[in-house]
Amino acid sequence: MADVFPPEKRSEIMRKVKSKRNESTEMRLITFFKANKIKGWRRNYPLPGKPDFVFPKLKIAIFADGCFWHGHDCRNTRPEQNKDYWAKKRERNVRRDLEVTETLSCKGWNVVRIWECEIKKVRFEEKLNTLY
């Protein structure tokens, strides 16, 4: 399906779209924490990379990474238009994720990255169960 806006207008529209956190995946994790009586987690904790959840006492930082934005190829979704831009965007995100993980690890934090597809299919529990 062709875009109904010319490229300049589409760019203007997309620049105005700002992230408001990925509520659906984060809410599933919150539900999991509550159902399993897991306590001590915090959100909006001031750490590099802005982890979605942090367990300060245990020094665990959890990131709920969107598959498309963070380079997971579970669905093979690739935009047909502006391929180079999106490929570079994903590459930058992947590089930044590696840097953030390394920075936190060097500071003694255990970093857990959970893919969006794992959360949707409830496959993230194994990663979290190894922490306790």
Tens of pLDDT, residue by residue over 49-107, are: 999 999 999 999 999 998 888 888 887 677 778 888 888 999 999 999 999 999 999 99
CA distance 124 to 114: 6
Facing residues of 54 across strands? Answer: 42, 61
- Report pLDDT digits (tens) over 26-55: 888 898 889 889 999 999 999 999 999 999
Query: Residues with Cβ < 8 Å from 59, sequence gap 6 or more?
Result: 108, 109, 110
pLDDT value for 63: 95
What domains can be seen in the chain, in order of their start residue?
A: 22-129 (3.40.960.10)
Does residue 1 register a pLDDT over 60?
Answer: no
